[in-house]
Amino acid sequence: MTSDTSTDALAETARRAIACLDLTSLNDGDDDAAIETLCRRAVTPAGPVAAVCVWPRFVPLCRDRLEGSGVTVCTVVNFPHGRDNVEQVRDEILPAIADGADEIDVVLPYTALLTGRVAEARAVLDMARLMTGEATLKVILETGRLLTPSAIREAAALAVDAGADFLKTSTGKVAISATLEAAHVLLDVAAAAGRPVGVKVAGGVRTTEQAAAYLRLADAINGRAEPSNFRFGASGLLDALLATLDGRPATVSAGY
């Protein structure tokens, strides 16, 4: 794959990436005002983002503010540590779905998986799939903790077998978040799933050039990346994408 950094190519990347963006705010200090700002930002001059991703308590607010916008509402459970408590996952998902969440991002119990407790990790995913119902289920693998391609592949295959609709790289809360290498493994597993499975790249994608590299990779492995099969999970990326479209220099965010 060759890189095309021309102005027109970067503008096309920015438009595509905005459509595939899960605009995210998962900060400890988030409040209603911060989430209202997030919702306003989600409908951009270049079109709406794919989703907003927020703490469960903000799902009703997002549903209200984004009604009719085309932006879906995503929330996280078992986040960010990926504990292996099945009942906790159930008790987090049920109210989120009742409040109108369209998408659930659940953290795989990666520590359980790494220590050989595969059945315990799988039980959490099975519960998440059952409780999520018709909503979209994204499984966060925390690839920065799994580290090796073989461990990442094992986790991705487990998630697909449990019914995941998307494989997500990271929580954005550990030292190593998304990498092209990890994304390649997830895209390979998704391509071999025998049913539609998307990939969400989260954490550390902050520039239009970085987004372009992931889009090229996704296009090459799974066909053209679009919101139904590919997402970026990010907070600061949107500013960079809009700057690209406006022909302005981008300030790189230190955020998610």
Please state the domain extents for the chain.
7-245
Residues of the chain with pLDDT under 50: 1-3
Q: Which of 22, 84, 200, 239 is catalytic?
A: 200
Q: Which of 22, 138, 165, 168 is catalytic?
A: 168
Q: Which of 10, 60, 4, 70 is nearest to 36 (CA)?
A: 60
Q: Is domain 7-245 annotated with CATH 3.20.20.70?
A: yes
Q: In the prediction, which pLDDT does 195 show?
A: 98
* Type and span of the H or E element at 219: helix 208-222
Q: In the prediction, which pLDDT does 2 show?
A: 42
Q: Which of 22, 105, 165, 239 is catalytic?
A: 105
Q: Are 206 and 253 in contact (CB under 8 A)?
A: yes
Q: In the prediction, which pLDDT does 186 show?
A: 98
Q: In the prediction, which pLDDT does 254 show?
A: 57
Q: In the prediction, which pLDDT does 6 show?
A: 83
Confirm whether 168 is a catalytic residue.
yes
Q: In the prediction, which pLDDT does 248 show?
A: 84
In this prediction the pTM is: 0.94
Q: In the prediction, which pLDDT does 109 show?
A: 98
